[in-house]
Amino acid sequence: MINSSLKQLGDMLQTKKISSVELTQSFLSRISEYNPAINAYIALDEAKTLAQAKAADALIASGSALPLTGIPIAQKDIFCAKGWQTTCGSKMLANFIAPYDAQVISQFDAVGAVNLGKTNMDEFAMGSSNETSYFGGVKNPWDFDRVPGGSSGGSAAAVAARLCAAATGTDTGGSIRQPASLCGLTGLKPTYGVVSRYGMIAFASSLDQAGPMAKSAEDCALMMNVMAGFDERDSTSLQREKEDYTRDLNKPLHGLRIGLPKEFFAEGLDANVGNVIEGAIAEYKKLGAEIVEISLPNTGLSIPVYYVLAPAEASSNLSRYDGVRYGHRAAEYTDLMDMYCKSRAEGFGAEVKRRILIGTYVLSAGYYDAYYLKAQQIRRLIAQDFIEAFKQCDVIMGPAAPSTAFKAGEKVDDPVAMYLQDIYTISTNLAGLPGMSVPAGFSAGSDGKALPVGLQIIGNYFDEARMLNVAHQYQQVTDWHTRMPELKASGDLA
């Protein structure tokens, strides 16, 4: 049952083979068994969760169930959920109980889905290994010595370990796709503006986008049907017709033009990962796709551009955490300035401070033109690269991450090496394009353990339905996405 698709779970619930309370309880018991070791969740609230499950059962009994009614979903702790501890992985918000619901949370509530808990993440979504979380790192369920990726590491580990039916994530530079790749799941970062950012704690507002992290493309499509939609409370939310993301899942791929950017297969890519990706491309050829070699010449600039723009926005977005109205306030201080300094020094971790400093620097008088403005100009060039590329192909493919999951602690002292984890994902955020990671096989790690590899699929603006179709067809002829790690119970670890 824990390995069932969302559609199967929905069918079981609606034909009353199982109740939402039973389903929820089975996930909760897995969580109590495995989460102490994996640390995928920051906050759990059985009473709230089971109350929602009960309400879902009532909805099902009344005959007004929707596809996700009664299904337990894990929510990244970046979304405000009324009455829930909402920390964003930071000491700064460790004591913050959200008094309102993010739009994403409201949307799941509205269809009667069950909130299973809040998942661990890099502090303020800044990180690629989940190691910057104030609440501790998260184990990769495929190898507990390794990181799950980040920043949506808790969601990725929860889905991979089957500690939820599906989860939400957010992606500012790769935070859905890289952990999906490292944990062997299917994750989708939609086009910027498709999912409302209201109530989603901001990291870099012009790049942040929420999306699903699930076992399959079909599950992602069902999640997208809930998450996508215009929200008047988010000025960057796009006013578009509601669409059914499952509508094209079964279309054949014959004649699909797949663009392979040569820059994605150059230096820096782990050879084994490269082989897995080539294997996936070969599979697509069998499905009738055509391969087109393309170029995204400014790919190399995407990381420097990102590490100007994202910190600039973050430095301003994180100014509200000043200890005045909520969140961490230093216990002792001499005056206002001292309260600000101490509260922020104590409340933020090293990576967050690093980015606030970078962002403050690049926006400062005298540096703004050379950094922020220049980065904005290059950002447009990067978007232009994609516009040109999509004249030659329907989707772009490549690796989602340059390597498989790395060992915990391996990159914590080398921020630039950590930043390079997002080399293939960041440019789509800068361009506002949708991107996916799809399980494409395994590669043996240094100690011989098989680690998942993710294939990245980048689509044109609003082409999520086609991307889901491309992923789903692949998942009809492969079974990588159905593999699940063997787990040791927490007790075994001691």
Residues contributing to the site for another protein (CB under 8 A): 79-80, 86, 88, 93, 96, 98-100, 102, 197-202, 204-206, 232-236, 312-313, 315-316, 318-322, 324-326, 336, 340, 360, 363-365, 368, 372
Rounded CA-CA distance 84/64 in Å is 27
Task: Please identify which of the residues 76, 91, 215, 342 carries the catalytic annotation.
Answer: 76
Task: Please identify which of the residues 5, 20, 151, 152 carries the catalytic annotation.
Answer: 151
Whether 76 sits among the annotated catalytic residues: the reply is: yes
The residue among 47 and 331 lying less far from another protein, judged by its C-beta, is: 331
The residue among 33 and 109 lying less far from another protein, judged by its C-beta, is: 109
Rounded CA-CA distance 229/214 in Å is 19
Smallest gap from Cβ 176 to another protein, in A, equals 18
The residue among 360 and 490 lying less far from another protein, judged by its C-beta, is: 360
Tokens 């080539």 label which residue? 278
Smallest gap from Cβ 284 to another protein, in A, equals 36
**Cβ atoms 154, 139 nearer than 8 A:** no
Smallest gap from Cβ 101 to another protein, in A, equals 10
Smallest gap from Cβ 88 to another protein, in A, equals 7
Q: Could you give the angle at the alpha carbon of 111 between the alpha carbons of 105 and 116, nearest 5°?
A: 50
The residue among 320 and 488 lying less far from another protein, judged by its C-beta, is: 320
Exposed / middle / buried, residue 369 (Cβ in 10 Å: 0-12, 13-18, 19+) = exposed
The residue among 93 and 188 lying less far from another protein, judged by its C-beta, is: 93
Whether 118 sits among the annotated catalytic residues: the reply is: no
Tokens 């962002």 label which residue? 359
Q: Could you give the angle at the alpha carbon of 441 between the alpha carbons of 456 and 27, nearest 5°?
A: 90
The residue among 104 and 465 lying less far from another protein, judged by its C-beta, is: 104
The residue among 336 and 387 lying less far from another protein, judged by its C-beta, is: 336
Tokens 């969580």 label which residue? 31
| Long-range contacts of the stretch 24-29 (C-beta < 8 A, 24+) | 24/49, 24/50, 24/52, 24/53, 24/70, 24/72, 24/114, 24/116, 25/50, 25/53, 26/1, 26/2, 27/2, 27/72, 27/116, 27/163, 27/164, 27/165, 28/116
Task: Please identify which of the residues 175, 216, 237, 302 carries the catalytic annotation.
Answer: 175
Smallest gap from Cβ 80 to another protein, in A, equals 5
Smallest gap from Cβ 420 to another protein, in A, equals 25
166-171 vs 72-76, strand pairing mode: parallel
| Sheet with 41-43, edge to edge strand ranges | 41-43, 114-119, 72-76, 166-171, 209-214, 186-189, 435-444, 450-459, 395-399, 257-261, 290-294
Cβ burial 186-199 (10 Å sphere, 16+ → b, else e) = bbbbbbbbbbbbbb
**Cβ atoms 216, 475 nearer than 8 A:** yes
Which residue from 271, 419, 276, 435 is spatially nearest to 354, judged by alpha carbons?
419
Smallest gap from Cβ 113 to another protein, in A, equals 19
Catalytic residue ranges = 76, 151, 175
